[in-house]
Structure 1
Amino acid sequence: MRHASLSIAAAGLVLGACVQKISTPAPAPTPTAAPTAAPTAAPAGRPAGAPNQGGGQGGGQGGAQGGANAAQDPQPRPYGTVITPRAITKSGVFKVHSVGSRLYFEIPRAELGKDYVIVTTLAGTPDEIGIRGTQGGNNLVRFERRENRIFVRLADYGDIIADSAASQRMAAELIGVTKILAALNIEAFGPDSSAVVEVTRMFTGGVAEYTALGRRATVDAARSYIDRFAAYARNVNVTAVQSFTPQGGAPGGGGGGGAAAAATAPTTEKYTFSIAKLPDIPMQPRLLDERVGYIGVSQRDFSGATQRVETKRYISRWRLECSDKKVGNLCVPKKPITYYLDPATPAWIKPWIKKGIEDWQVAFEAAGFYKGIIAADAPANDPDFSGEDATVAMVRWLPSSTENAVGPSLKDPRTGEIIDADVQTYLNVMNLGRSWYFTQAGHLDKRAQKFPFPDTLAGRLLEYVTAHEVGHTLGFPHNFKASSMYPVDSVRSKTWVAKNGHTPTLMDYSRFNYVAQPEDGIALDDLIPKIGPYDKYAVMWGYSPIPNAKTPEAEKATLDKWSKMQDTIPWYRFASDGGAQGADPGEQSEAVGDADAVKATTLGVKNLKRTMAMLESATAWKDGSTYDDLEEMYGRTVGQWATEMGHVSRIIGGEYKQEKLVGQKGVVWQNVEPKRQKDAVQFLLDNAYTTPTWLLDESILRKIESSGSLNRVGSAQARSLASVVSNDRLARMVELEAMAKSKSEVYPVADMLTDLRRGLWKEIETGAPIDAFRRRLQRVYLEAMASKINPPAASAAPQAPGGARGGAAPVSTADFRPILKSEMRALDADLVLAIAKTSDRMSKAHLEDARDQIANMLDPKR
């Protein structure tokens, strides 16, 4: 959820998009009036200290927008009349003055036209309406002076790069005109012609550009106020208490307040706005390579050098530079990446959070840095230190029932330099980690076999969560490919896992080693992911200095050489989940041993059966307690079973992918072996679609519900079946078969559908009774077939081919509809014979109903 009060987010600026400065308006001439003149009487009709004409009520409306009298030029007053002796002043990148309830910025002439980013952070909220520390809009702005007004302008020039040709620059500027977000009357001039402007209403509402977005509410200035402010060398912080009043209409886009978009009740929240100056000297960017996983920023190149508009992408990374000091062969950084701990973090948790941060030190050693990343406590007794500061990286501890943690970061859109990060750890993520560990590895660890977990285990799980989220704030997206490059047998090897982990990267969702068996003897700490070979490789690739390379282009040869290491070290490969509709069975989340998901899931199911055997004893931790823990852990055990079955589904109609660039040998995509696909279908028929009676423990079910297992298990089976017969998968299988030189290269879609039909309806061969779980699954199958044979009119309409690189054209069922009809006719013929030999009444009625459904499919107008 995003939280913002500055409507700068309305302009749609995403800090992942890079901005290139094209031009900056020249400042107006220096005023002739002495900036420090003694106070004089205010103009008639306006009390001393009031805003200039052109201002609205309270000086905010007009002071920020120009008001009804905007045509009349603002008339600055003597400095001492505005910034009176009662002012509380703090000095930083520019001065901030508080005079009573009014807040003023004193912006030096030298800061006009410079790039600033405004980060909005929720600093306080009513329970469960929002989450403290959640970042809202991150917006790039410039302060521009025109005569006696300062314009706050969105610094978004369309991600444009243009060469020095005047025509190209002119074209770039024409499409790069950006929104003026607010106009601030200059109230006075300070030393060196610094402009004093009142900004109160920018933070307390009353100006359209600064009201809350993402919900039907406006900021009520009468019930809002400035709470505190601070000034630092590179940024200014303002914290405001804002009260929101509901209003009608659809919620806006962009940011959002702490309340949900559809909320209608008034509420009051606290926000911190950190206005931070981007580095004066931009860091040299590093070009992004799709073979290595980095979050990036983009620029569009309009120079026309390649006869087209090109997109340049740079990786996101911290500025890490070597000092003259060394420890062994490692350089000591001039300024290590430093994460502070939220003072609200419970004392017993702090050591684990620190360890999660500093676990990354070994990866930075691979890039040549000694202690390139460190953890630190927040300074004590420093009232100006703030986790909301846009230049302070912090791991926050947030009281929330949300089972999650996230790792957002703030980037310089010119270069990709990370300048701020805030890992947000919600208290209830401990419950999520406990659930994962219990269902995946609890059978191997006695500490997990009785709730609640001891602090040593709970802390270790939190360390893992912290390290993963810190990884995101270092510039790394998820990598779901590398783990599929470890053989399943290696994942069970205690020596391999001790050295390399069961996954090569912390940035996978390869949680805990659910493949490991009791006899494998794997150390308990090695059941939990750690910094792996890919993490060290990725940090080396992105953070290692490349001597004598003065431009991003000069680094390309070295970076390409490093990228090609993936050809011989396969677990250095990268891909995130979902590419090309999930075609690659090696790009899966929540998977361990997905090099062979059938083998890994076979072992995983053995472990889940062990988990089921200890469910009651583990959750019955206190006499007189409810069965809530039992109910929750039973549901999560069923969920883990469904997840593992889903890994097998992805094999069918799958294609292996290795990202490559021109000049590398081989293709990017290769078909999954036909036998492996066929084995996957049979595995699902035997394990997912055959009723899992081991999950239906009556002793457990009678303690947690009067009914519901049919829905719970049936829904999991239905999701798996829907995945197997999805339109994307069937269309891909048709295409792969059409392109194959020989049918031996593919698993024909007709063969797959026949194997599936016979397995799902195997009872009709013998006339055996069909249990309620199987009857539901067979109905789901018929409903899926009906939706494809007779799709809704919009879906059945001809679709134009196309789609971007890596995508696919919209899917029509026309290419596989004939074979589905053929399958239904074959099934109907089998049902005729089965009904005659079925004695169970419920089964016979079910089969008769199935025939009716098939008749409606094949002749919907009958």
Structure 2
Amino acid sequence: MNKVLYIVILLCFSVASVNAASGEWGKKKKKKAAKEQVESKDSTSKATSTSEYEKFMKDAEVKEGMFNVIKKKDKIYLEIPKAIMNRDFLISSRVSSTSRTWQIDPGTINRDPLLITFSCDENKVYIHFPHLRYECKEDSEMYEAYKRHSNPPIWKAFKIEVLSKDSSSCVIDATSLFLSSIAEFSPFPDLPAEVRAFVPFGGTFQSDRSRIEEFKAFEDNVIVKSMMTYTTDKEGPLTTIEARNIVILPEKPMTPRYSDERVGFFEETRFLFDENQDQLQRYGIINRWDLQPKDMEKYLAGELVEPVKPIVWYVDPAIPEKWRKYVKLGIADWNIAFEAIGFKNAIVVKDYPTDDPNFDPDDIHYNCYRFVASARENSMGPSWIDPRSGEILCGDVISWYGVVTLLNKWRMIQTAAVDPSVRCPVMTDENMGEAMRYVAAHEIGHTLGLMHNFGASAAYPVEKLRDPEFTQKYGTTPSIMDYARFNYVAQPGDMEKGVKLTPPLVGEYDMFAIKYGYQVLANVESPDDEKATLRAWIKEQIGNKMCFYGQQVFQFNFDPRSQAEDLSDDVIKANTYGLKNLKYVTANFVDWMAVNDEGYAAVEGTYKEIIGQFFRFMNHAMVNVGGMYVNPKGFDDNNVQLYQYVPKNKQVEALTFVLKNLNDLPNWIVNDKVTAIVGPTAKPYVQQTQFFSEMLTREFLGRLQLNEIDGKNVFTIDDYLNIIYDYMFSRKGGSLRLCDMAFQNSFVDNLKEFMDKGEFKSAGSGKALTDYAMETTCSCHAYCESHGFNPVDPLSEIVLSPRIDRTNKRPVVMKYLRKAYQTAKARSNTGNDKTREHYRLLVLKLNYLFD
């Protein structure tokens, strides 16, 4: 076994107990046989007569299990054996049901389960948080220093009410653990402070309207369900049923497997103190299920073998049958990838059982695909893990009803130009079922440990998406973990030729990722034993675009290959096809939808999604401008370049594509059919002008400047502003449209920010270029961000740093402000009244700089 892992496990099992008399930590006790522990009375024993214990238990309701759970009146007690107090446990809280779903959804665990251990002294039982993130080898000379700051802190303490007859277990009043407001168990989403500042999330617990509802005990876990009532600013009273689980973890953790940033797995991060290295060592272990073959000999010989413990999924009967059968297919689709590495029936799909009294979807032992009757247009698939080893213990999928609405809109908007069967307000069961199957497979991928792969679709040349043979085999992307929904590249007539419009069941990348995470190797005692093999697998795939992993970047995207909702290796060409289809859909969708009351009412939502699709196309293109291709590499991958700037001609093409289409948008986005139903709308105008404003913020100019500092033959800030100026000033003569005046005002106002005291302040809200990229059918973004390492984000810090702004932004900005000033003065008497006054206002804005 790897020495590092051995020490981690040893530390977890050697959690120090608190000695109330001496106040000392970490004193090791001699090991005793289980029989001796039962028969002896150690320093934690309390002189308790049999009659006292029996008196306490009188009239109590008891459920026997790992801990005996005792209910007396309105209180819950736990009888915790001393013999297992040094074991590791997980404790979690799941929302079972709720009176509303605006903030809280049934089935969710809105805080990660906690790793805990127990200890006791003569008077109290303590719950500790073991340390995992930082490690030090026991034979290291630094180990004593490490121990001095690695004591497991006390999270909770409980008075011992009584000891068992033989003093081998402690009974504590645990009511507060199950019937009180605990931050680590909050049912409310853990949202960023900037969101909570504007939206009143959260609530205040009301104990007088709360009670214990149900409790269960099993050999390796206990569950206590409580009715919890809160008052909220927005909703008034809110009542939930919350199920809190305590689960004992395996005495011997699963052997971890090292992560690699070139394969997208959620991971647990570790830091190692080692005097043989000159810096703190960082490594990650991936999240994965512990799949082991029943017959290792046959497995290693290449035969298909069933796992010792398959991954069993239970599907909510509340999902309508017409969709449920497709959800089951989507779950089972992953067996394709597991069969390729030797596992038969690795994933088993079942309905909620009706003949199993122990089945409980609130039990963390059961993997459930749940349905929430909510208009929220989303779905998510988190998993809950043993943080010691990365072993996935439970997977959940939450599917909101509203995802059907979103899939309906996307399927029609992206493919109705070529597929007449989706030109309707309600999709056929087959079309919607296929879409639901895709969503199910994507979310199950998350529960297998896989992160989003936003770079996958960049493997396909554009024209291959119009090739019947290619699309039938490969779909729209090499990864179901990508956001490549439907084939908006396909043109009228392509479908009749056999072009496929939907993603694959499981893609080429997915097959490789499952191999990396789950293929069992012989004679592995520690993660170091398989490290060389894993690296060899990755090196074999270098240059194979089908297996490229593109990370989900959370702050500011640089790599045009790694984007949500895009298709192909050339988004300009792909989105040109897509825009042609989108214009056709915009001209006709009202006729397709408004055939009954339901379709009529849905027109407005569909129209908003059409606008959203347009700005996704624009956003895809803008990532090329100042962008770079980021290629994670190992130390010996000599033929791999860590980064390459997007070629200058590609950046020019992308910018002109955006400017041309922003200017053209008013010519087709609104028509009489739309306004006859939705009424007058300013949404396209608002989004159009806001998007342009974002193109002139310091984030974009900083990205270009990084190119300019580091590269050769690059697309400079001067080049960028010159093209924008040409489109927004030079080419516009006579009387201006409202959007033309807005573009010119944004140009001046944003560039002025670089010349005033607010020189480095972003004039925009940072919203227009990100909103549509993040409106997706998967809510796993926060989970991805907190459980994965992202090496691209540090580049954002460089671009956003004001220290590089002073070198050459101001002179270039000054050049184009002067041009705008001179143009405005020259045109002050041209065009209609509004146009003339517009130019005079621009002159007034810039007078202080030039006169």
TM-score exceeds 0.5: yes
1:339 aligns to 2:304 (yes or no): no
CA distance in 2, matches of 1:73, 1:231: 25
Deviates more, 1:86-95 or 1:518-527: 518-527
* 1:532 pairs with 2:507: yes
Structure 1 residue corresponding to 2:628, chosen from 651, 655, 661: 655
Name the SS for the 1:269 alignment partner: strand
The Cα of 1:736 is off from its aligned counterpart by 2.3
1:425-824 equivalences in 2 (<5 Å): 425-521=399-495, 523=498, 526-578=501-553, 581-593=556-568, 595-622=569-596, 624=597, 627-665=600-638, 666-705=640-679, 707-709=680-682, 712-740=683-711, 742=712, 745-764=713-732, 767-790=733-756, 792=758, 795=761, 805-809=794-798, 810-812=800-802, 813-815=805-807, 816-824=809-817
Letter in 2 for 1:826: K
Question: What SS does structure 1 have at the residue aligned with 2:271?
Answer: strand
Aligned with 1:715: secondary structure? helix
The Cα shift of 1:412 comes to 0.8
Give the equivalent residue in structure 1 for 2:217. Answer: 231
1:136–1:173: structure 2 CA closer, same or farther, 3 Å change rule?
farther
SS in 1 for 2:514: helix
SS of 1:151's equivalent in the other structure is: strand
- SS in structure 1 of the partner of residue 523 of structure 2: coil
Displacement of 1:83 after TM fit? 2.1
Residue matched to 2:783: none
Distance 1:100 1:35 in 2: 32
Q: Which residue of 2 aligns with 1:297?
A: 268
Aligned to 1:281: 252
Contact 1:88 1:98 in 2 (8 A): yes
Q: Is the 8 A contact 2:474 2:504 kept in 1?
A: no
Contact 1:230/1:238, CA 8 A, preserved across alignment: yes
| Matched residue, 1:203 | 178
| Matches of 2:619 and 2:472, distance apart in 1 | 28
User: In the alignment, which residue of structure 2 is the partner of 1:14?
Assistant: none
Task: Check the 8 A contact 1:753/1:823 in 2, yes or no.
Answer: yes
Is the CA contact (8 Å cut-off) linking 1:107 and 1:196 kept in structure 2? yes
Shift of residue 651, structure 1, vs aligned partner = 0.9
Instruction: Give the CA deviation at 1:163.
Output: 2.7
Q: 1:330 matched to which residue of 2?
A: 304
Change in Cα spacing, 1:678 to 1:361, as seen in structure 2 (3 Å) is same
Distance 1:855 1:233, change over 3 A: farther
Change (3 A) 1:376 1:210: closer
Q: Given the superposition, is the C-alpha separation of residues 120 and 714 from structure 1 closer, same or farther in structure 2, using an over 3 Å criterion?
A: same
Given the two structures, how large is their TM-score scaled by the length of structure 1? 0.84
1:342–1:395 Cα contact (<8 Å) kept? yes
2:145 counterpart of 1:153: no
How far is the alpha carbon of 1:425 from its aligned partner?
0.8
Q: Which deviates further from its counterpart, 483-492 or 838-847?
A: 838-847
The equivalent of 1:313 in structure 2 is 284
> Is the contact between residue 37 and residue 83 of structure 2 (CA under 8 Å) also seen in structure 1?
no
Name the residue aligned to 2:197: none
Q: How has the CA–CA distance of structure 1 residues 203 and 641 changed in structure 2, closer, same or farther, with 3 Å as cutoff?
A: same
Within a 5 Å distance, the mapping from 1:44-123 to structure 2 comes to 78-84=52-58, 86-123=59-96
- The 1:380–1:524 alpha-carbon spacing in structure 2 relative to 1, beyond 3 Å, is farther
**Structure 2 unmatched ranges of 5 or more:** 1-8, 18-27, 191-200, 763-790
Q: Equivalents in 2 of 1:206, 1:696: separation in Å?
A: 51
CA distance in 1, matches of 2:285, 2:321: 39
Correspondence 1:301-450 to 2 at 5 A: 301-324=272-295, 329-450=303-424
- Per-residue CA distance 1:165-187 (angstroms, 9 max, x = gap): 47514523434341331224142
> 2-side partners of 1:806 and 1:685: how far apart?
26
| Cα distance, 1:808–1:102 mapped onto 2, change above 3 Å | closer
- Quick one: distance in 2 between partners of 1:441 and 1:291? 32
SS in 2 for 1:586: coil
C-alpha change, 1:420 and 1:161, in structure 2 (3 Å) is farther
- Cα separation, partners in 2 of 1:383 and 1:553, compared to 1, 3 Å: same
- Please identify, of 309-318 and 154-163, the stretch whose mean Cα deviation from structure 2 is larger: 154-163
Are residues 663 and 626 of structure 1, via their aligned partners in 2, closer, same or farther at CA, if it must alter by over 3 Å? Answer: closer
Q: Which amino acid aligns with 2:588?
A: M
Structure 1 residues 475, 19: CA separation in 2 closer, same or farther (over 3 Å shift)?
farther
Instruction: State how far apart, in whole Å, the 1-side matches of 2:185 and 2:513 are.
Output: 40
Q: Deviation string for 1:247-284 (max 9, x for gaps)?
A: xxxxxxxxxxxx6xx55834322100011111222111
The amino acid that maps onto 2:747 is Y
Q: Equivalent pairs: percent with the same residue?
A: 27
Are the structure 2 counterparts of residues 73 and 222 from structure 1 closer, same or farther at C-alpha, using a change threshold of 3 Å? farther
Residues 722/772 of structure 1: CA separation in 2 closer, same or farther (3 Å cut): closer
Contact 2:15–2:117, Cα closer than 8 Å, also in 1: no
CA deviations 1:615-656 (Å, max 9, x no partner) are 11222131x558431111111111101111111111111111
Report the Cα distance in structure 2 between the residues aligned to 1:588 and 1:517, rounded to whole angstroms: 22
Assess if the C-alpha contact under 8 Å between 2:88 and 2:116 holds in 1. yes
Shift of 1:397: 0.8
Asked if 1:853 is matched to 2:811, the reply is no
Matching residue's letter, 2:841: D
8 A contact 1:35–1:189 mirrored in 2: no
Query: Would the aligned equivalents of 2:132 and 2:270 in 1 still touch at CA under 8 Å?
Result: no
- Give the SS at the match of 2:827: helix
Aligned partners of 2:417, 2:37: CA distance in 1, in Å?
80
- SS in structure 1 at match of 2:450: coil
Number of residue pairs matched by the alignment: 777
Paired letter, 1:753: L
Offset, 1:840: 2.2
Query: 1:243 aligned to 2:197?
Result: no
Q: Which among 86, 94, 97 is matched to residue 124 of structure 1?
A: 97
Alpha-carbon distance change, 96 to 437 in structure 1, aligned in 2, over 3 angstroms: same
Distance, in Å, in 2 between the alignment partners of 1:576 and 1:664 is: 19
Q: How does 1:1-20 map to 2 (within 5 A)?
A: 20=12
